[in-house]
A and B are shown apart, each in its own frame.
Chain A
Amino acid sequence: MAKVKFDILESTCVPLPFENVDTDQIIPARFLSATSREGFGDNLFRDWRYKKSGEKNNEFILNNPSYGGKVLVAGKNFGSGSSREHAVWAIFDYGFRAVISSFFADIFMNNALNNGLLPIVVTDEFLKKLLETVQKDPSAKVRIDLDKQTLTLIPTDDSVSFGINSYKKECLLKGLDDIDFLLSMKSMITGYETNKSKVR
C-alpha cells in the first residue's frame, strides 16, 4: 500500500542531545496494548514529557514552545533496544518526518524506512554543530533533499551528503511499499521453495 511520499523537506528541528535513546523511552511498553497503528504520538517520550503527577514536564524539549518542526535531531545510537515499530509510529504520528543522528540501531532504521520516516546518519562533528546551532536558535532550519541525498543547515549553509540504499530511496520517493514488491515476486519465492525441498 502506498505510503506518504518523501521528497524535499525544509523544517526547523527539535534537538534531543542524549545518547542511547532506546525505544522504551520513545514509547514505554505500557502503551503498546493498542491493536492499530494510530494514536501513539500522544505518548511519544511519555515519561520524559510528563511528571509522575501527570503534569507536563516543562524542562523537556517537546514541551518548550520555542522548539518545533518535522525533524528530530538526536544523540548517537538512537532507537536501540526493543524492536517495537510502535516507536516509529509514535515519532511519525507526532509529526516528525526525519530523524538525524550519528548512529541508529539497526531494527529502528529498518522500521523507520518501512514507515516513511527518513533516518539520516551524519558524522559526530556535523551532529555536534547541528545540535549546537538549533539549540541556540530554534528558528534555524534544515533542508533535506532525498533525491540529491543532501542535508543543509540553512543559516550556516553547511551541506553534507547522506547515504541510503537506492531501493529504499526509490520506495520513499515514490511512496512504495516492500510488501507490494515482495508480492510481485511470489512465483520466484515458490520456485525457491521447490528447489530447496529437492536439495534436502
Chain B
Amino acid sequence: MVRSIEDGPDVLYIDRHYIHEVTSPQAFNGLKERGINVFRPEKTIATADHNIPTKDQHLQIRDELSRNQVERLSENCKKYGIELFGLNHEKNGIVHVIGPELGYTLPGMTIVCGDSHTSTHGAFGTIAFGIGTSEVEMVLATQCILQPKPKKMRITLNGNLQKGVTSKDIIMYIISEISASGATGYFVEYCGSAIRSLSMEARMTICNMSIEMGARGGLIAPDEITFDYLRKLSSIPGVVNLSQAIEDWEELKSDNDAVFDRELEFKAEAIKPMITYGTNPGMGMAIDDSIPMSDDKYKNASASFIKSLDYMGFKPGMKLLGHPIDYVFIGSCTNGRIEDFRAFAQIIRGRKKAENVTALIVPGSKKVENQMAAEGLLKVYKDAGFEVRQPGCSSCLAMNEDKIPAGKYAVSTSNRNFEGRQGPGARTLLASPFTAAAAAITGRITDPREFIKEEKSY
C-alpha cells in the first residue's frame, strides 16, 4: 500500500497488470487525451483473447469491429512498449490461463486486469481482482489504483471428495449454498484439507469463480503444491533465484489467530457433481436433485426466479437428469487448462459423441493445445468425433462466432449462465468437464459418476 486515505480508499500499488483487447482501448485513449505515458510498461502483459475466432486464426479476423479492437491492442502495446502475446503468438491464450503458465503470476503479488475473473490468480496466494476500464487507465498511468479495504471471509472445506467430484463442483456447491451475492464486499480465503489436496489447476478453477458469489477475489495460501508448479515452469520472468523466492513465499499465510469478518465451513463429502438450472451461478444443485419450488423456502417464488426458469424452459420441482441437450462447451478461464481436457478425455475415450450434440472444444492457450497434442489427447478427441478448436474465450461470452443458438441447451464448463451469455436466447447449464463429457456422449444431462470407475478427482 502506498498511502491510506482517511475514510477513503487506499492507494494500492499493482505488481502485475494484465490487459486484453476489449477493456483496454478506452484506457489508452484516456492516456492520449491527457498526453501521458505508461508509467511502468514492463509490469503490464497483454493478450488477445475475448473476441478472437477459434478457427482459422491465421486468416484476417472477419468481424470488422473485433479486428479493429485486436489491431488497436497491437498498436497500443507497440507504442507504449508493452509485451503482447497476441493472436498467432506461440504463447497466446486466455489472459488468466497464460499469466500463471508463463510464470507472470507469483505468490504475494497484487494483480489486476480489466476482467472480473482475475480472481483466478488468487490460487497462487496473490491479491488478484477485476477492475473497470477507468482503473485500467489508472494502473497504466500510475501503477496504482484506489481501493476501499474489503471485508475478509474464510471458507473452510475439510474431508475427502467423492468420486467424480471436481473443484468446479466444489465452487458451484459453495455458490449455490451462499447465493450469487453471498460474498459481495468480501475477499475470500479458501482453507481446509480438501482445498490443500487440490492441484494448482483445480485451485485456479475455485478462485476463478469467487466473483460468481460476488467476492472481490479469492485466494489460497501458497504451499508445496504451488512451489512445485512454479519449479516445473521453464522460466519465471524476473526471478533469478527461485529457491530464495520460495523461502520468502513460505511466509505468505494468514496468522493462526487471524480474525475474519465471516467464517463458513463445508464438508467435502457432502458435494456431488453439480449443475445449474437458472440464470445466475447461485442457481445450482446436485445433478440428481430436483429444481427447488422457490428461491426462498419460506416464501412463494419471486418474480426473478420465475422469469429465470421461464427463460430456461424449466419448471419448479423438475428433475434435469435425462433432459436432452444440444451443445457442449469445454474451455474458458474456468476450465480451459490441461487437467480439464484430461478429465473430459477420461470419459470420451473409446466412446462416440452423441449425434444430437454440437461440441465446442476450446483449449485455454496455445500451451494447453500443444500439451494436448503431446499427450495424445487430440487423437482421443478426434476418434470420439470431437473437433478441437484454437484457443480463446470463445463461447463463454460469445463475442466471436462461437454462439449457442436461441433456445438451445448447452452444458458448459464456463462460469456464467446469465441470459444470453452464450448468445441471444442461449440456455446455459454450468457444470464440470466430467459432466460436460458425459452429456456429450449421451446427448442428455447425465450423472458423470456412471462413467467413472476409479476414485480420482481433479
B134 engages A115 (CB within 8 Å) = yes
Partner of A52, one of B3, B13, B424: B424
Contact with A along B181-211 (1 / 0, CB 8 A): 1001100000000000000000000000001
Chain A CB within 10 Å — which of B8, B29, B130, B302 has the most? Answer: B8
Partner of A32, one of B22, B72, B138, B211: B22
The bracket for how many chain B residues form the interface is: 35 or more
Q: C-beta contact mask, B113-157 vs A, less than 8 Å → 1, else 0?
A: 011100000000000001111110110011111101010000000
Q: Report B-chain residues with C-beta under 8 Å of the C-beta of A114.
A: 132, 134-135
Note all chain B residues with C-beta closer than 8 A to A106.
150, 184-185, 214, 216
Q: Is the CB of B144 within 8 A of A189?
A: yes
Main secondary structure of the interface of B (DSSP, over half): loop
* 19 other A-B residue contacts (CB within 8 Å) besides A47-B420, A114-B135, A188-B2: A25-B418, A25-B419, A25-B420, A29-B421, A32-B51, A35-B29, A36-B25, A76-B181, A80-B184, A81-B116, A81-B211, A103-B184, A115-B134, A168-B8, A183-B142, A185-B3, A189-B2, A189-B39, A189-B144
Give the 5 A-B residue pairs with the shortest CB-CB distance, closest first: A167-B8, A33-B65, A85-B132, A111-B132, A35-B25
Does B23 have its Cβ within 8 Å of any Cβ on chain A?
Answer: yes
CB distance from B34 to the nearest CB of A (A): 7
Contact A185/B11 with A29-B398, A47-B424, A85-B23 known, Cβ cut-off 8 Å? yes
Residues of A in contact, count (CB < 8 Å):
56
CA distance A83 to B114 in the complex (A): 7
Chain A residues within an 8 Å CB radius of B13: 189, 192-193, 196
Point out the residues of chain B lying under 8 angstroms from A36, CB to CB.
25-26, 29
Distance in angstroms between the alpha carbons of A84 and B29 in the assembled complex: 16
Closest approach, in angstroms, between the C-beta of A8 and any C-beta of chain B?
23
Decide if B98 is an interface residue (CB 8 Å cutoff): no
Q: Choose one: A76, A105, A192; the contact of B2 (CB below 8 Å).
A: A192
Q: How far is the CB of A188 from chain B (nearest CB, A)?
A: 6
CB distance from A78 to the nearest CB of B (A): 10
- A81-B137 contact in complex given A33-B63, A106-B214, A165-B7, C-beta closer than 8 Å: no
The reply to whether the CB of B5 lies closer than 8 angstroms to some CB of chain A is yes
Q: Given A52-B424, A75-B304, A188-B3, are A107 and B26 also a contact pair (CB < 8 Å)?
A: no
